[in-house]
Amino acid sequence: MKLLEVHEITAGYGETDILEAVSIELRENEIVAIIGPNGAGKSTLLKTIFGLLTPREGSIKFLNEEITGLSPNQIVKKGISYVPQLENVFPSLTVHENLEMGAFIRRDKFQQKLSEIYHLFPMLRERRGDKAGKLSGGMRQMLAMGRALMLDPKVLLLDEPTASLAPLLVGMVFQKIVEVNRAGVAMIIVEQNAKETLKISHRGYVMAMGRKVFEDRGETLLNSEEIGRLYLGG
C-alpha cells in the first residue's frame, strides 16, 4: 500500500525554484533513501513534504488524502514525523522532557510509549535527567529520533541522521534506523552517506540539480557502475 505519494512537485524559497517536478512515493514498511550531491534539493524535498515549504505546483498525498499546503502541526497530527538535520533537540530541556514534548499533542497517557523508546535507546534512559544540550552528537540524533517516534508516526522523515557523526556512531544510528523500521515505521532518509544508506534501504532515489535522475531498488543502485561513478564517489 502506498503511504505517501509526491506527484511532480515544484518548490523553493521565494522566487527561486529548487525542486522541479519531483515525484516519489513511499510504501508501507519501506525505507527509502534519497541521495545525491550537495544542493540537489534533497532536504528541500523533505521540508516540502512536511509542510515547511509550500509547493508551487504538484500534489502530496498521505494515505490517499491531499496534504499539500498543510502546516507542519497539521501534518504531524496525521502521522508523519520529521527529524531535522541540525538543532533537533530542545537544549535547555532534559532528555526526559524532550521525549515528553514529542508526545505533546497526544491526548492519552503515553507512559507505555515512553518506556518503549527507552527500551529502544537504553542510553537515553541512563541520561534522562541531563539537559539535552549537554549530549554528544550521536546521542542527540537518538534523542531526536526518539522524540519523533513518541507520536507513533506511520512515516518518519530523517534529514541526514548521520551528518558529522564519528564513524562508530554512524553504524549505531543506522542499526537503530533498521530496528525502528522493523517495528513498522516507514522512512524516507536523506543522506550524504549514500553507500551506507542504500545498504539498509529497500528503494532509493538519486537527485541532482533539483530533479530526480534515477530510481531503483537500493541494492541495484548500490551496484550500478554509473551511479557509483557519478554519485557515490567511485
Partner 1 sequence: MAELLVYGIVFGSIIALGSIGLSLIFGILRFANFAHGDMMTAGAYVALFLVSGFFNWLGIPDSNLGPLSFGWRMVIAIPISMIAIGMLAIFLDHILYQPLRKKRSSNVLLAMAALGASFMIQMVVLILWGADSLFYRPGVLRPALELPFEIKIRPDQLFIIVIVFLSIIVLHLFLKYTQMGKAMRATADHPELARITGIDTRRIIRWTWGIGGAMAALGGILYGIDVQLHPGMGWGFLLPLFAATILGGIGNLVGALIGALVMGVVQQISTAFLLPTYKPAVEFLIMILILLLRPQGIFGGRS
The contact set with partner 1 (CB under 8 A) reads 50, 52, 71-73, 76-77, 82, 84, 87-93, 97-98, 100-102, 104-105, 147, 151
Q: Which is nearer to partner 1, 88 or 197 (CB)?
A: 88
Residue nearer to partner 1 on the CB measure, 38 or 73: 73
Does residue 58 sit in helix, strand or coil?
Answer: strand
Q: How far is the CB of 143 from partner 1 (least distance, A)?
A: 12
In the complex, what is the shortest distance from the CB of residue 91 to partner 1, in angstroms, rounded to a whole number? Answer: 6
Q: How far apart are CA 58 and CA 8, in angstroms?
A: 5
What is the smallest separation between the CB atom of 134 and partner 1, expressed in angstroms?
14
Q: 4 or 151: whose CB is closer to partner 1? A: 151
Q: Closest approach of Cβ 83 to partner 1, in Å?
A: 9
DSSP secondary structure string for all residues of 62-85: ETTEE-TT--HHHHHHHTEEEE-S
CA–CA dist 160, 190 (Å, integer): 5
Nearer to partner 1, 88 or 181 (CB): 88
